[in-house]
Chains A and B, each alone.
Chain A
Amino acid sequence: MKIKILKMICLPFILMAFLCLAGNLSAAQDYEKDYHQKVKQNDGTIGIIAGVINYVCPKLVPGSTKICNSEDPVGSAVGVQKYMEQNWDKEEDDIEDAKMPELLNKKAALQFWDAVEQFKMHFPYREKAKQAAEKGDWENALLNEEMAWQYLVKCASRGIFSKKLVDGE
């Protein structure tokens, strides 16, 4: 019952996130305005991703690991990834082949792992966007913010996949 309620709560958010991701198709090239809009959109998207992380995280790793912290979803996500990678020889093996500690749902965790990979990719572009904005280079600020958004989309895509797996859909 709890799960159903959570699903009902989460689904609109996911839909909203998707609409939020797909909705901003403004053709006007007021780079400064578009940049600020995109920053808001990305912040909002990250907030929704954080909600998904908080929902999925406790269903991936045992509570005893104390990795999942709803106050710090990004830390939780990176924590799950590190937890999975602790015995991983990156040069030799694929992540699936790594000897992993206890996971509550390995299939979902592997999707989550990739979502985190995508999420991590967005950081340098947001940083570059900020730097460009500080210089008043609004076109590059927008482009970098857009690139960050691409990685958030990819993160959301895999994150939803992971959520579906933990929900057994």
Chain B
Amino acid sequence: MFGKIRNSFQLVFIIMIASGLFASVNAQSLEEIMKTRGLSQTDMLAAAKTYTPSGKLDEYVVFSSGGQSGQVIVYGVPSMRILKYISVFTPEPWQGYGYGDDESMDIIYKQGSIRGKEITWGDTHHPALSETAAEYDGQYCFINDKANPRVAVIDLKTFSTTQIVANPIMKNEHGAAFVTPNTEYIIEASQIPAPFTNDYVPLTEFNEKYRGAMTMWKFSRKKGKILEENSFSVELPPYCQDLSDSGKNMSEGWVFTNSFNSERYIGGFGPGNTKFRDRLPHEAGMSSKDTDYLHMIHLDTAIKLFEQGKYKKINGHPVISMETMIANNALFLIPEPKSPHGVMINPSGQYLTVSGKLDTHVSVYDFKKMMKLINAKEYEGRDPYNVPILSMTKSLHGQVELGLGPLHTQYDSEKGIAYTSLYVDSAIARWDYLKLKLIEKIPIHYNVGHLVAAEGDTATPDGKYLIALNKLAIDRFTQVGPLHPQNHQLIDISAGHPMQLLYDMPLPLGEPHYAVMIKADKLKPLIRYKQKWFKNRVKPGRERIVREGNKVTVHSTLIRSHYSPEIIEVNKGDEVVWHLTNLERAQDETHGFSIYLYNINGSLEPGETSTFRFTADQEGVFPFYCTEFCSALHLEMMGYLLVKP
């Protein structure tokens, strides 16, 4: 009896200790971690909202410009895990972009060249996703290059660049890329005015011969390409056009862009060698007026004028003059607070928000009021180029004081709610653009430029998440030299509670300028290429080497873990054309192709065929190998190119 009691007592005691230990281990570990790492309950909540366990996928995907890297950065939300760098204007070896294969060499070095010059970088600014009925459809992404005006098409089936078009008349741009609600056109607006022609024009002729422009790139969804022959530009005054947006719903058919330096001020600061020497800098004269001009362009009329041939060709590109646009009631200006950055159309298409960086207000324009003035031909004047000017006060729904340096606005799923970045304040404002009142502000770190909300510029924004794209991280990350990473800060904007800062993501790859956020389930990328898509496809069993004179064509295949053929012998001076097909049907079985000395590095994704061309101009032994760890026998995936004297 006593033994039984003793045994029961022991059992209870062991259970008590075990459960106590178990509980204390769990409780202690969490508390200890919080204590050791100095984490608060709020931090833990933020962690819980963003932590994405291994194997779980993100709800949203962000396409962010890669700034001076010339790329596009893709990452998931809420995890903020980087998923891909899409090479666009800059060669990128891992993806074999610009290192020898015909397709990417053509895109970067041929399509991307301007006036015969190869340009191997870009200043990517504004990605835009293709839309159907003003909703992201997940098919294409477009991105611009501010430095050398170009627009690129990224096919979201493969997440790779398929086309670059160079703007024939612009020398600098900014307001791109923006799409019309069904992606019929991709909009590109210039920034620093310059002559459309490529000849020398002195700055003394600035007002007469320097111009701004907006290019309407016609996009064929069927071909997945911009049709340059169906594209045209509209001439604009030599102000610095800034950011653009396409109308939607009630404002569909119109395109908007704002501007700075409507003063047309030319600086010259410093002891230069022209008559402009010692003038005050551009920054002094470009913001001396209180207002600049919001531009309204009637795209539908411009398309008709283009179709009617009412344009002149400059550098082989059709340009509709301001005079023609004005005569056809297709171009108007409205004063806006000076030095703005962005005109953003709300989901219904009725309201346009414009923020002057040097004003504390955000101005909300009412499209209905603007159209009433246009229809009544009620202008308050004309600019020096005879462009009709609408009254700002009569166009406004109202203004709201949000803080210092308002910049860019995105919309929420809740009617009337918008978010605006405040550059000088280093904050995000949540406000109501219908009731014209500020709701709350949240500090960010630091100096936010653009911001992006989930599907925040579509006809039906999602709310939920917002990311502040901050410029000066200063103390947010471990110091890595004088140049800090950029800081993308994720903010919870779910309805019903104040905004909460969740996560800091450092981005050390150029200055990511602008971003768009799409529901992940709208993206339907390919798992692999279909071999039959490639005209140079090499079928298994048909590998061969063919010599015609001094041209040697190699038809190769790749599969875990060998090339076929593995040894190729040519003569010095031979022109080598090398087709390679990755025969893999397995997911993600990518193989590389790198040859010593020839600056070649291909990335052949499953099913893909690439063609490399080079002259075997040096005799010797040139090993080639697979640069991907494709299997356990990866190192054995190698071969020799032998070049005989």
Nearest Cβ on chain A to B128's Cβ, whole angstroms: 29
Nearest Cβ on chain B to A113's Cβ, whole angstroms: 8
The answer to whether B585 and A150 have CB atoms under 8 Å apart is no
Complex CA–CA separation, A144 to B532 (angstroms): 31
Interface hit among A28-36, A38-46, A124-132, A153-161? A153-161
Complex CA–CA separation, A117 to B559 (angstroms): 12
**A95 (CB) vs chain B CBs: closest residue:** B585
Instruction: Enumerate chain A residues within 8 angstroms of B607, measured Cβ to Cβ.
Output: 94
- The one of A94, A118, A157 that contacts B530, using a Cβ cutoff of 8 Å: A94
**B632 (CB) vs chain A CBs: closest residue:** A153
- The one of B560, B561, B585, B632 that contacts A94, using a Cβ cutoff of 8 Å: B585
Q: Given contacts A95-B585, A110-B587, A114-B585, are A154 and B560 in contact (CB under 8 A)?
A: yes
**Residue with the greatest number of chain A CB neighbours at <10 A, chosen from B560, B561, B586, B607:** B586
Instruction: Enumerate chain B residues within 8 angstroms of A137, measured Cβ to Cβ.
Output: none
The answer to whether B586 and A114 have CB atoms under 8 Å apart is yes
B527 within 8 Å of A (CB atoms): yes
Complex CA–CA separation, A146 to B532 (angstroms): 32
Instruction: Enumerate chain A residues within 8 angstroms of B532, measured Cβ to Cβ.
Output: 91
Nearest Cβ on chain A to B557's Cβ, whole angstroms: 13
Complex CA–CA separation, A36 to B613 (angstroms): 45
**B529 (CB) vs chain A CBs: closest residue:** A94
B528 within 8 Å of A (CB atoms): yes
The answer to whether A157 and B632 have CB atoms under 8 Å apart is yes
The answer to whether A94 and B633 have CB atoms under 8 Å apart is no
Instruction: Enumerate chain B residues within 8 angstroms of A91, measured Cβ to Cβ.
Output: 532
The answer to whether A158 and B561 have CB atoms under 8 Å apart is no
In the complex, chain A residues 85-125 whose Cβ is within 8 Å of any chain B Cβ: 91-92, 94-96, 110-111, 114, 117-118
- The one of B527, B530, B587, B633 that contacts A150, using a Cβ cutoff of 8 Å: B633
Nearest Cβ on chain B to A45's Cβ, whole angstroms: 13
- As a 0/1 sequence over residues 512 to 537 of chain B, the CB contacts with chain A under 8 angstroms (1 = contact) are 00000000000000011010100000
B631 within 8 Å of A (CB atoms): yes
Q: Given contacts A91-B532, A94-B527, A94-B528, are A157 and B631 in contact (CB under 8 A)?
A: yes
**B606 (CB) vs chain A CBs: closest residue:** A94
Instruction: Enumerate chain B residues within 8 angstroms of A153, measured Cβ to Cβ.
Output: 631-633
Complex CA–CA separation, A157 to B587 (angstroms): 13
In the complex, chain B residues 579-610 whose Cβ is within 8 Å of any chain A Cβ: 585-587, 607
In the complex, chain A residues 1-55 whose Cβ is within 8 Å of any chain B Cβ: 21-22
**B55 (CB) vs chain A CBs: closest residue:** A168
Q: Which 5 residue pairs spanning A and B have beta carbons closest together?
A: A114-B586, A154-B560, A96-B527, A153-B632, A150-B633
Interface residues of A (CB under 8 A from B): 21-22, 91-92, 94-96, 110-111, 114, 117-118, 150, 153-154, 157-158
Some 24 contacts from A to B, beta carbons below 8 A apart, are A21-B632, A22-B632, A91-B532, A94-B527, A94-B530, A94-B585, A94-B607, A95-B585, A96-B527, A96-B587, A110-B587, A111-B586, A114-B585, A117-B585, A117-B586, A118-B560, A150-B561, A150-B633, A153-B631, A153-B632, A154-B631, A154-B632, A157-B631, A157-B632
